[in-house]
Amino acid sequence: MAEQQGGNRKRMKKLIVFFGLVLWVCGLTGGANASSIYDIVDWSDRTKRGRTATKMNAKNGPVTFIHNVFLDGDASVTDLTLTISHRGNRPNRNRAWSVSDSTGNILGLLENSKRGWVDQVFSLSPELYEDMINGSLSIEFTLDKGARKKGALWLDSSIVSGNYDLAPAKIIGVDAVATPIPSSMLLLGTGLAGLVWGRKKFKRG
Examine the domain organization and report whether 111 and 152 are in the same domain: yes
Residues 160, 65 within the same domain: yes
Mean pLDDT of 6-28: 55
Phi, psi of 62 (to 5 degrees): -60, 155
- Residue 179 confidence class, pLDDT cut points 50, 70, 90: very low
46 and 138 share one domain: yes
Do 60 and 144 share a structural domain? Answer: yes
Q: Look at residue 87 in the predicted model and tell me its pLDDT.
A: 95
Q: Which residues lie across from 155 on neighbouring strands?
A: 54, 86
- The DSSP H or E segment spanning 188 is helix 183-204
Cα(85)–Cα(99) distance, integer angstroms? 13
- Phi, psi angles (nearest 5°) of residue 61: 95, -175
Least confident of 47-51, 120-124, 156-160, 164-168: 164-168
- pLDDT at residue number 136: 82
Q: How far apart are CA 193 and CA 33, in angstroms?
A: 28
Higher-confidence residue: 3 or 121? 121
Q: Which pLDDT tens digit goes with each residue over 140-155?
A: 999 998 766 777 899 9
Is 40 domain-assigned?
yes
Q: Which domain holds residue 18?
A: 2-27+169-183+195-204
pLDDT score of 52 more than 60: yes
Residue 119 to residue 74: CA distance in whole angstroms: 32
E strand or H helix at 12: helix 2-30
Asked whether residue 42 falls in the same domain as residue 123, the answer is yes
Please report whether residue 137 resides in a domain: yes
Given a contact cutoff of 8 angstroms between Cβ atoms, the answer to whether 71 and 142 are in contact is no
Both 89 and 18 in one domain: the answer is no
On the question of pLDDT at 67 being above 70, the answer is yes
Mean residue pLDDT of the chain comes to 75
Please report whether residue 43 resides in a domain.
yes
Name which residue leads in pLDDT, 169 or 120.
120
53 in the same domain as 23:
no
Count: domains in the chain: 2
What is the model's pLDDT at position 51? 93
Angle at 171 between CA 131 and CA 124, to 5 degrees: 30
Overall average pLDDT of the 38-48 stretch: 91
pLDDT of residue 6: 54
Instruction: Quote the CA–CA distance of 119 and 113 in Å, as a whole number.
Output: 9
Of all helices (H) and strands (E), which one includes residue 38? strand 34-42
Cα(117)–Cα(136) distance, integer angstroms: 32
Residues 131 and 41 in one domain: yes
Task: Cite the DSSP H helix spans in 43-84.
Answer: none
In the predicted model, is pLDDT for residue 185 greater than 80? no
Q: Are residues 21 and 86 in the same domain?
A: no
pLDDT for res 193: 59
Residue at 188 is within a domain: no
Are 51 and 141 members of one domain? yes
